[in-house]
Amino acid sequence: MTEDVFRSPKKRGRIAVFLSGRGSNFVAIHEAIRAGGINADIALVFSNRKAAPGYLFAQEQGLETLNLRPKNFPDRESYDQEIAREIRARDIDLIVLAGYMRIITSPFCQEFINRIINIHPALLPAFPGLHVQQQAIDWGVQFSGATVHFVVPEVDMGPIIVQAAVPVLQDDTEETLSARILKEEHKLYPEAVKLYFEGRLEVRGRRVFILE
Ligand code: GRF
């Protein structure tokens, strides 16, 4: 059986960032782009919440923004179909989920397979889902961290691109561990986007190879 192989494109990429909240990972990527560290431009910042701090920051920065209210759509599928139309119209190469708090429907994932990435504040496949920093503390693990992965229809299950580990300390609270992980996220996510547009990510089945 031949295995499907995907190789990320080497080009100046057009990125769409999807966010629902604070947007600190978006800011980290935006800054890395402005510093010349990533061969890409943010062509769109999309949010389901127009009051999200990250969304307001994008507007202040003069980036193109789009907000669609989920309430105006009968179901998830039609909401995602409308987003897909907007993405196609803008010739987007990569969708960067940065604290986007909606589950993406399967047809959307399939249309943009290998072109959606996400960051998760745990060492996947441990602790998928929400409130994962507290889950890591409660489980008693001694290390947790952050994972950047491709998005597939099964939530938090896609091929892993890069990870960073941090220690979990005895006196950690959800806040202290989250802050330690977030610091790593802000390095890891720009690095993953950089590798993507250097044409250095090769996906073979579940495995992602970082090419020299
Ligand atoms: C981060 O912890 C990220 O790992 C998770 O959601 C949080 C988003 O934070 N997916 P921010 O909005 O980027 O500050």
Quick one: pLDDT band at residue 3, thresholds 50, 70, 90?
confident
Identify whether the C-beta of residue 12 lies closer than 8 Å to the C-beta of residue 40.
yes
Q: Which residue's alpha carbon is at the smallest distance from atom 9 of ligand 1?
A: 99
Identify whether the C-beta of residue 158 lies closer than 8 Å to the C-beta of residue 151.
yes
> What average pLDDT does the segment 131-154 reach?
98
pLDDT per residue as tens digits for the range 58-104: 999 999 999 999 999 999 999 999 999 999 999 999 999 999 999 99
Q: Is the CB of 99 under 6 A from ligand 1?
A: yes
pLDDT per residue as tens digits for the range 100-120: 999 999 999 999 999 999 999
Q: What is the best residue among 185, 186, 187 to mutate for testing ligand 1's pocket, by most ligand atoms within 8 Å of CB?
A: 185
Residue 120 annotated as catalytic = yes
Rama region for 160: left / alpha / beta (φ>0; ψ in -120 to 50; rest): beta
* Residue 60 φ/ψ, nearest 5 degrees: -60, -35
pLDDT per residue as tens digits for the range 15-59: 999 999 999 999 999 999 999 999 999 999 999 999 999 999 999
CA distance 139 to 174: 13
Burial category of 5 from C-beta neighbours within 10 Å (exposed 0-12, middle 13-18, buried 19 and up):
exposed
